[in-house]
Each structure stands twice: as C-alpha cells, then as structure tokens.
Amino acid sequence: MPGPLVIGRYCSIAKTVRSAPINHPFDAITTHPALYERKFGVVENDIHYDDPQVIEDDVWIGHNAMILPSCRRIGRGSIIGAGAIVTRDVPRYAVVAGNPAKILRERFPTELQQALEESCWWMLDLQGLRDLVRDHPDLAFHPSVENIRAERWAERTGQ
C-alpha cells in the first residue's frame, strides 16, 4: 500500500491526473508487482513509502499530468501543465511542464510570493473568499505586495 496522499486547500486537480504510488523495482530480478504487492502471494507485505505525497494549497494540476513516486511534495501556489510527467518535488509558486517536468518560470516575483505566504489567504473559508472578492476584487484578481500587506488577514482567517 502506498503512503498517504495529502491535498491542501483550494487545489484544482484535473480528473485525468494520475499519481504513481511506488516505482517498480528495476534493480530486482523482475519488475513485476509480485515483488511489492502481497496479493500475488510472493511477499508478505505491500512495499510502500512511509512519507506522504503532499500537494500543498492552491496548486493547479492540468489534465493528464502524471506525478511519479520520486515527487513527494508539490509546493503551494504551483502550476503543473497538462501532460507533465513530474519526477521531482515542485517548489512553491513554480510553473512546470514537460516530460520530465521542468520549471518554466515562477508564478509571482519573490517579494509577492513572500507576501502571499505571510497572508495565509488559503485559510479563508468560501464565505471569507467571497467577502474578499466583494471587498477587494483588485487584491483577489491582481494581487500586489502593497494590497496584500494592507489587508487585515488575521481578522479574515481567524489566525
């Protein structure tokens, strides 16, 4: 059995995304699942990873992306392009695509990333997000360091 999958808040994951929980043992006598799945009667226990695969908050994963077992963490605010084969961890706010997936760019400049991290906006419930859009649509749709830092996030998120 694979390790657990942890998915954060406000993630957009296409229905066709796949996550491979474990690799075939390519250095063993055979790559057949009989060496890692007990249902075949060869091994007593399923082989699994103890650490979870983590998809942090506000991640967008496009159609037909494949997350391989060597990727244990997909960082907050990142975007994974359609058809990407993700073979390693994805940093926060990175835009990745391809086979293997490579960083194409950062979603936001570093200072804006820091302001977003400090805000913890993803802790808003849907009503809080609705209120934010109503009260400050410019912040919701065109965030800047200034408008993020001017907001009273602790009051909105209850943090």
The verdict on 32 and 90 lying in the same domain is: yes
Q: Give the C-alpha separation, 79 to 68, whole Å.
A: 16
* CA distance linking residue 149 with residue 22, whole number of Å: 42
- Residue 75 sits in the same domain as residue 131: no
Q: Which of 156, 154, 152 lies closest to 129, judged by CA?
A: 156
68, 11: one domain: yes
pLDDT tens digits along 92-146: 999 999 999 999 999 999 999 999 999 999 999 999 999 999 999 999 999 999 9
Q: Which two tokens stand for residue 91?
A: 């940093």
Same domain, 16 and 62: yes
Residues labelled catalytic: 24
pLDDT tens readout for residues 42-88:
999 888 777 889 999 999 999 999 999 899 999 999 999 999 999 99
Number of domains in the chain: 2
Q: Is there a single domain that holds both residue 83 and residue 37?
A: yes
Residue range(s) defining the domain that contains residue 58: 5-106
DSSP string, 6-32: EE-TT-EE-TT-EE--S---TTSS--S
Residue where one domain finishes, among candidates 84, 106, 128: 106
Using the 3D structure, point to which of 85, 106, 127 is the last residue of a domain. Answer: 106
- Predicted structure pTM score: 0.87
